[in-house]
Chain A
């Protein structure tokens, strides 16, 4: 079975400081990994994904994520946070070798609060 853990319910950071939102995963095969963002009263929006290749993936709004196979992690990062980055962030995984079809498993979400 595939699973995702986001160990922090909330991350607080000051505007201009770097931010990290943590994600660890468990799959039996090789993972497809995704980050989504949810702004208030909106649906989830795709930020970035890791399928294969370079371990550092760049996505929308200046976000990036680093795939670390040995630590089974896919932490979301941004060098300089903006107040407008304040939102709920979800990590998700799909097992490439899983015959369960097209199912993504989502983490519980991490609320990012960026203070001016």
Chain B
């Protein structure tokens, strides 16, 4: 089924480990985004990308790394996971050529850092 998929759905990792969350979209949307959702904070933008090989920081980028070598993929890496990075992570995409459209979101990855 076409769309935007995130993997894994759930992940438990230990403090200090590196972990990568995957995001894949099938529409060739130019824009992709990573958000984290925490109780009391709503959605906070971590990083976004306007096109392949173009990325930029959002509101809370510290401790995260992104890459976008292909239009359809936008992985998010936690270089050395901390307990404060326990959260639900959402990937989203948008057609940059048409501002009438909003974002399409993945189902999320629930990450627990122990």
A positions within 8 Å CB-CB of B:
32, 34, 36, 41-46, 49, 51, 90, 92, 94, 96, 101-104, 106-109
Sample (28) of A-B pairs whose CB atoms are under 8 Å apart: A36-B102, A36-B105, A42-B108, A43-B90, A43-B106, A43-B107, A43-B108, A44-B43, A44-B92, A44-B103, A46-B102, A49-B100, A49-B102, A51-B100, A90-B42, A90-B43, A92-B103, A96-B99, A101-B31, A101-B96, A102-B50, A102-B94, A102-B95, A102-B96, A104-B94, A104-B103, A108-B42, A109-B42
Closest to B88 in A: A41
Closest to B50 in A: A101
Interface hub of B30, B42, B95, B102 (most chain A Cβ within 10 A): B102
Contacts of A46 in B (CB 8 A): 102, 104
User: Quick check: A92 and B102 within 8 Å, CB to CB?
Assistant: yes
B positions within 8 Å CB-CB of A:
30-31, 41-43, 48, 50, 90, 92, 94-96, 99-100, 102-108
Contacts of A49 in B (CB 8 A): 100, 102
Contacts of B103 in A (CB 8 A): 44, 92, 104
How many residue-residue contacts, CB under 8 A, span A and B?
Answer: 51
Taken together as a complex, chains A and B put the C-alpha atoms of A90 and B35 apart, in Å, by: 14
- A88 CB, min distance to chain B CBs, angstroms: 9
User: Quick check: B90 and A32 within 8 Å, CB to CB?
Assistant: no
Other-chain residue from A43, A51, A103, A109 in contact with B105 (beta carbon distance below 8 A): A43
Taken together as a complex, chains A and B put the C-alpha atoms of A42 and B88 apart, in Å, by: 10
- B89 CB, min distance to chain A CBs, angstroms: 10
User: Quick check: B43 and A109 within 8 Å, CB to CB?
Assistant: yes
Closest to B103 in A: A104
User: Quick check: B94 and A42 within 8 Å, CB to CB?
Assistant: no
Contacts of B102 in A (CB 8 A): 34, 36, 46, 49, 92, 104
Taken together as a complex, chains A and B put the C-alpha atoms of A77 and B81 apart, in Å, by: 41
Contacts of A107 in B (CB 8 A): 42
Please provide the 9 A-B residue pairs with the shortest distance between their CB atoms, ordered closest to farther: A43-B105, A108-B42, A44-B105, A34-B102, A102-B96, A102-B31, A43-B107, A106-B43, A109-B42
